[in-house]
Structures are given as structure tokens and as C-alpha cells.
Chain A
């Protein structure tokens, strides 16, 4: 069970305020979608939560200041799948998923049986066990996304932050990916996912944070806060709303 809280988090890159004064408390067992147009600061916000970018304000993990935790402790509590995760060497799928156990290894020790079981579990949950021996650089887009997710799941952290995990996936794989994140949240994890698909966010997320120009435009249950007025203001679009559906239909002139 891991909770993450941000207090007045702001990021300035090249004299531009990319994230401004974001205050949120994220509770365990919830699937939180981070929405907003391109350049709204979604990725930068999650990177700030992780401490990957210098920022103003405070971030606490389980009530403790993040920076008071050791790097390994932070890595054990919060797993992260960056946007467009690249793989620089042609590792086997299994070897790649093993990297997720790095924060758990004591100096000079090898993978324990417990580590191997965690790897098996992660690969089973992401449904990549059959790919174990494949070269991870030669997978299809869908396989690759699942393998990368398995790598993040292998950390078995209480919180999982994923940045556009569904990019370049077909509809079936998108739903599969969301179901997986949903299952993680239902099992007690805090899952924070940067997303673009409004319908998937509406259907699967407990809560969405909508960013506009670096600031939090709204924060709440998707069915509640994703309103025509908000979409017009934040994205500049009109949309058709159905039962669990938000379909963009045009641009606001």
C-alpha cells in the first residue's frame, strides 16, 4: 500500500513553467488517469513525482518526504514505465523483466528464488511468459508494450506510474492494457497512468487529473469532471457523451 502526495509542485524548464502549483493526494487502490493536451505537462508532472526532474514544492511517499527515502527504497515503492520506453541492448524478454528486480538486490547478490517468482508473476500477469526467450528488440508493438509493462510489474512496488502505456496499441491491446492496470489497482496498488483516450479513462479510471498549461484544471471521478465545458476549455473540442463513452466530434472554433 503506497500513497503519494504532492504539495505545490511546480517545474520550470528553460524559464518556462511546465508544471504549476499542483497539489494532489493519491491513495492506494485507485487507478488515476492523468489527462491533458500535448504539452500540458503530464509527463513532467509524473517525472516530478518520481524526483526525476528538479521541482518546487514537496512530494511525500507514504507520508514521508520522498527525498528522505533512499533511492532503492523509493524504487521499491514506486515503479515507473517512461513514455516510449526504449531498450538499448537486444536482451531476451526474461532478462529485460529481470531488470525490475534491481531495486531488491543486495550488493553482490544474485537473483533469489523470491525474485524469480516475482518475475514469473509479472510475466504471467502481462501475458508475456511465452515470449521469455525472444529478443525484446524484435517484438511487435503490442508484445513490446506488454513486456515493458511486465518489467515495471516485476518491481512489485506498491505504486505504479506509467506514461502513455497504450501509445501505438490497437484497440484490443488498449483495452487489455487498461484491464491490467485496473487489476493492479483492484489488488491494492496505486496506479497513475498518463492517457490520451477519454473513453478508456472514463471506463477504467477511478479518478482523473486534467492538466491544462501545466496547472490542474480539474480533479475527480471521470464521469463527474469530464464535461463538455471542460473538454472545450482544456482540449478545445466538442464531444459526444454516451454511457461510459466520450467521443471527440470536432474542434471548438
Chain B
């Protein structure tokens, strides 16, 4: 119908500030974020309770140098950094995808209770001897836990477009799962229950090995693939469900992929790290002003920034001198809660 109509302005209206392409946002931001990830990873390998000078770190990584130093690096720090990168990327991406899907800047795996749900699944697998018999039960139950909490949440909040309904439902579900973790640990034959409860509720990457990396990585990979492919559907949802459906988006399929992506990815991540809060909240919040603010432009940058943030937080945990090592969630909560509150104050005006 428009073939006959010529534009009234000859000058094409370009957007110099924003990237014109739809899946945009990545090109300019990506190199900077990749450098940040690299820097964080190097710092994560170089810094720890045993002081190893950078030169000897390189030597040890190249397979030379002191045997003990090599063991510390390869068996302790490298898996820890790898897990930090993978878990951080998953949490950052999960936050960006959930925010886009729910059109809510407060949505993220831990606020919505998915992390605690996954942690509850992991606790049941670990402390009732299931994971000892079958290692794959650990991520599987964590995934089931995340899926159950998200399903319960979506049922509770229904189709309400109010951000607050969802957040309140998330707090309820999250608290319930947290209580479940405490109950499960107190019921289990475990003398260190109190310590362990803290680890699962606040998260930690202490003493992780390549076994944990192998357990988490496939789940996180599946989660990232499922979520990263949803950019266009999330962009279309900027116009609401009807608007998106009229642009050709399959709403049911999008919902399914999103639920599964978050559950599998966060389930796999939490199974080895515990419920680390707020990464998925802080990261998209920091990245959004650097993009054209469309949900698709946030996905990959949030994964990269989440990876860097979690590894840096883990370095902070190791560097801050405390008698017992700090939990990761303590650091991320100190960063994340102000962001959360600032947004909540803004939302309150809508009541």
C-alpha cells in the first residue's frame, strides 16, 4: 500500500546516539565489557589468601614453577573463577531476561524467589544423601526447585501488570523457600546446619572444584542459549502482550522458554554456588543507560557484566579480612539493596 508514498523528508532520520539495528547495543559495549571480564578473571586467579606474585602465577599456569602454587591455582582458583564467571553471567542474563519479560525493573531470579527455590532443591539433594548416590540429582532438584517457585509465582501474581504484585508474591515465595532450606538443614543429620544455612542463603564459591564446574556448566549453557534467543520477543513485549502478539510473537512459547531458561540456568548455578542475590538486579540497572534501553540490547551485556561483577565480588570476599570467609551474597546485597530501594521508591509514586 505504501509503494506510492514517498517520504516527505529526504534526509533519513538516523539515530546517532543509539545503535540502529534491532539486536543492537552489543557492538560498542561488548569490547569494554570483555576487557572487564578478562581483568576480573585475571584478578580472580591472581588474588587469594596465599600471596603468589603475578610472574609466578603465569609460570604456574604455563605448567612450570612451584608444585604447591600450581595446585592452588589450578585446583582452587581457576575453577572458582570459572564458576564465578558462569554463575555471574547466568544471574546477569537471568535478571535482564526476567525484567524484559515481566516489564518490571525489579524482577530478577533472587527477588522472585527462583534462587531460593533452587537452593532448597539443592539442599534436599545434598543433605538427604541423594547427591552422593547420583551426582546429577543435585542440579536436577535445584532446577525443579526453581521451576516450582517460578510456577507458583506466576500463578500468584497472575496476569497482573502491576510490578508490585509480582514483587510481593516473589518475597512470599522466596521467604517460603528460605524457611524450607532452614527446616531441611535442621532436620538433616548435620552438626554444621547453621553454617550451611548461611552458605545456601547467601551463596559462596569457596572450595569449589572442577567437579562443580562440570556439574553447573551444561545447565548454565542451556539456560543462556534459551534466554539469549528471546531478544526480539522481549523487545516486542515492550508494547504489552497484545502488541507483541500482533507483531508475530508466540507468547506461550516465549513464556515457556523463559521459565525453562531461568529455571535450568539458575538451578544449575545455585546448585554449586547457593542463592547469590541481587546480581540480576544490579547488572541490568547499570547496563541499561549504556544501551538504547530496549530489552534485547541488555541481554549479552548483562551476561558479561554479571560475570565480571560476580568474580570481582568473589575477589572482595577473599580480600576483606574476616575470621571466616564472607559469603558472596553479603557483598552483592550491599551493592544491590540500594538499587532495589531506589526503584521501589520510584514505583511507590504509582500507588
Interface residues of A (CB under 8 A from B): 1, 47, 50-52, 70-72, 74-76, 78-80, 82, 85-92, 94-96, 98-103, 105, 108, 110-111, 116-121, 123-125, 129, 132-133, 151, 155-156, 158, 184, 187-189
Contact = CB atoms under 8 A, between A and B. Distances in A.
B190 interface: no
Contacts of B5: 121, 125, 187
Interface stretch (B209-217, B236-244, B262-270): B236-244
B7 A120 contact: yes
A120 B248 contact: no
B2 A187 contact: yes
A9 B17 CA distance: 47
B248 A72 contact: yes
B22 interface: yes
Interface string B6-34: 11110011010110111110000000000
Contacts of A101: 22
A87 B23 contact: no
Contact of A110 (B17, B24, B246, B293): B24
Interface string B329-348: 00000000000000000000
Interface residues of B, number: 38
B1 A187 contact: yes
17 contacts: A71-B249, A72-B248, A87-B239, A88-B103, A90-B293, A92-B17, A95-B15, A99-B238, A102-B236, A102-B248, A108-B23, A111-B20, A120-B13, A121-B6, A124-B8, A133-B17, A187-B2
Contacts of A78: 246
B106 to A, nearest CB: 13
Nearest to B103: A88
Nearest to B241: A52
Interface of B: 1-2, 4-9, 12-13, 15, 17-18, 20-24, 103, 232, 235-240, 242-243, 245-250, 292-295
Contacts of B293: 89-92, 95
B262 to A, nearest CB: 19
User: Which of A71, A94, A99, A189 lies at the interface centre, i.e. has the most chain B CB atoms within 10 A of its CB?
Assistant: A99
A156 B247 contact: no
A52 B239 contact: no
Contacts of B22: 98, 101-102, 105, 110-111
Instruction: Enumerate the 7 nearest inter-chain pairs by beta-carbon distance, A residue then B residue, closest first.
Output: A75-B248, A110-B21, A80-B246, A88-B103, A72-B248, A71-B248, A188-B1
Contact of A91 (B23, B236, B294): B294
A124 B7 CA distance: 6
A3 to B, nearest CB: 13
Contacts of A158: 1
B238 A123 contact: no
A72 B247 CA distance: 7
Q: Which of A90, A102, A111, A184 has the most C-beta atoms of chain B within 10 angstroms of its own C-beta?
A: A102
Contacts of A118: 2
A90 B18 CA distance: 13
Contacts of A91: 238, 292-294
B246 A75 contact: yes
A71 B250 contact: yes
A121 B2 contact: yes
Contact of B238 (A82, A88, A129, A184): A88
B2 A52 contact: no
Given A101-B22, A111-B20, A129-B13, A89 B246 contact: no
B18 A85 contact: no
Contacts of B20: 98, 111, 116
Nearest to A137: B293
A89 B294 contact: yes
